[in-house]
Amino acid sequence: MKAMVLEKICDLRTEREPLRLVDIPVPEPVRGEVLVRVHACGVCHTELDEIEGRTPPPRFPVVPGHQVVGAVERCGPGTKRLQKGDRVGVAWIYSSCGVCRFCRDGDENLCGEFVATGRDADGGYAEYMVVPEVFAFKVPDSFSDLEAAPLLCAGTIGYRSLRLTGMRDGENIGLIGFGASAHLVIQMVRHMYPSSKIFVFARSPGERDFSRELGASWAGDTTDSSPEKLHRAIDTTPVWGTVVHALGNLERGGRLVINAIRKEEIDKTELLTLSYPDHLWLEKEIKSVANVASRDVREFLDLAASIPIRPEVETFTLDGANRALLELKERKIRGAKVLRIV
């Protein structure tokens, strides 16, 4: 089968083709696993974190990709729920131990043996992949393969982030950064909290314009002061300065949720001082988001179908993965980038 593989950590400022197209054997499903024929796979900023070493794979080569949609091709022994032909999605969560207190409580994302799709195990930048049956999720029929792919990470992690804000209808929310995840979160907010105002902070004028098209009440730069204080905020950017600016825009008792697996190195030209009285006092909170749990995927797919959420996607062929990743790195974004495998 054809696959795009990462063979080493790369500096994308000098290496423009970090992934290599290769032919490798089709994997065999073992007990409890299914073989998935991949139809589409979303391209995520986390792949940049893997490639550039901020969250490096434990082994090389590895097949990236964790927003996977495809059809079950073959079931391994011991599988019970799925059968050949079922359309399924695979998210960032590939497996967990299943027995620790986090797994028992439905928080597999915090499991000490959490395995990430496309980093710790081969993912969806390929024609086939295997996955434990329990972490293959049925995809609603209302979405095409290309539409469903970004729901598996951008949408699901956005859903978890929104849930962790503790938001209530009528509260103001700020979305810092307006890439694949935020363009789905804004659709959730408008549906779930119709009386709330949405304030978007993005460096790119194009992203700000796009947010207004999707219903933002106001859009400005990441360094701007919001016209009204924010009760909740979600930061999806890879940089540090946005955290300080967001805290400055928070209302008393407000909460900032950071939706990023890693932040890039601090740019000392934009280094800001965190002031306790200005940024944290009066019971402001910062909360991080770690991965996703299986219930996030299931709940969000149902919610997305009921709204319905419509991702805006830009498609690439499998061998165009390097171009998609570089455009993501250069912030050439409108909605989500998706690889069409078949």
Phi, psi of 40 (to 5 degrees): -155, 155
Q: How would residue 266 be classed by pLDDT, with cut points 50, 70 and 90?
A: low
Query: Domain map of the chain by residue range?
Result: 2-153+292-340, 156-288
Q: 3-state SS of 56-103?
A: CCCCCCECCCCCEEEEEEEECCCCCCCCCCCEEEECCEEECCCCCHHH
pLDDT, position 331: 85
The domain over range 2-153+292-340 is classified in CATH as 3.90.180.10: yes
Say if CB 341 and CB 127 are below 8 A apart. Answer: yes
And the tokens for 289?
A: 């988001």
pLDDT, position 96: 97
pLDDT, position 76: 96
Mean pLDDT is highest, among 205-219, 232-246, 277-291, for 205-219
Q: How would residue 309 be classed by pLDDT, with cut points 50, 70 and 90?
A: very high
Q: How would residue 271 be classed by pLDDT, with cut points 50, 70 and 90?
A: low
Residue 265 confidence (pLDDT) above 80? no
Residue 88 confidence (pLDDT) above 80? yes
Say what percent of the chain tops pLDDT 70.
Answer: 98
Say if CB 44 and CB 50 are below 8 A apart. Answer: no
pTM of the model: 0.92
pLDDT, position 268: 56
And the tokens for 160?
A: 């978890």
Say if CB 337 and CB 180 are below 8 A apart. Answer: yes
pLDDT, position 327: 95
Phi, psi of 103 (to 5 degrees): -65, -40
Q: What is the pLDDT of residues 222-264, one digit of tens each?
A: 999 999 999 999 999 988 889 989 999 999 999 999 998 888 7
Q: What is the pLDDT of residues 175-184, one digit of tens each?
A: 999 999 999 9
Mean pLDDT over 185-209 rounds to 96
Which of 144, 134, 123 lies closest to 298 in space, CA to CA? 134
* Gap between the Cα atoms of 209 and 8, Å rounded: 37
Say if CB 165 and CB 236 are below 8 A apart. Answer: no
Which of 146-150, 211-215, 230-234, 327-331 is predicted least confidently? 327-331
Mean pLDDT over 71-83 rounds to 97
Q: How would residue 270 be classed by pLDDT, with cut points 50, 70 and 90?
A: low
* Token pair 């024609």 in the structure block, residue: 127
Mapped onto helix, strand or coil, the DSSP state of residue 233 is strand
Count of Cβ atoms closer than 10 Å to residue 120 Cβ: 16
pLDDT, position 279: 86
And the tokens for 243?
A: 């955290």
Q: How would residue 78 be classed by pLDDT, with cut points 50, 70 and 90?
A: very high
Q: How would residue 333 be classed by pLDDT, with cut points 50, 70 and 90?
A: confident
Mean pLDDT over 71-89 rounds to 97
For residue 261, CA distances in Å to 43, 290, 339 come to 15, 7, 22
Tell me if domain 2-153+292-340 and domain 156-288 are identical in fold.
no
Mapped onto helix, strand or coil, the DSSP state of residue 289 is coil
And the tokens for 186?
A: 């804004």
Question: Of 3.40.50.2300, 3.40.190.290, 3.40.50.720, 3.30.70.1710, which CATH number belongs to 156-288?
Answer: 3.40.50.720
**Distance between terminal CA atoms of the chain?**
12
Residue 335 confidence (pLDDT) above 80? yes
Residue 131 confidence (pLDDT) above 90? yes
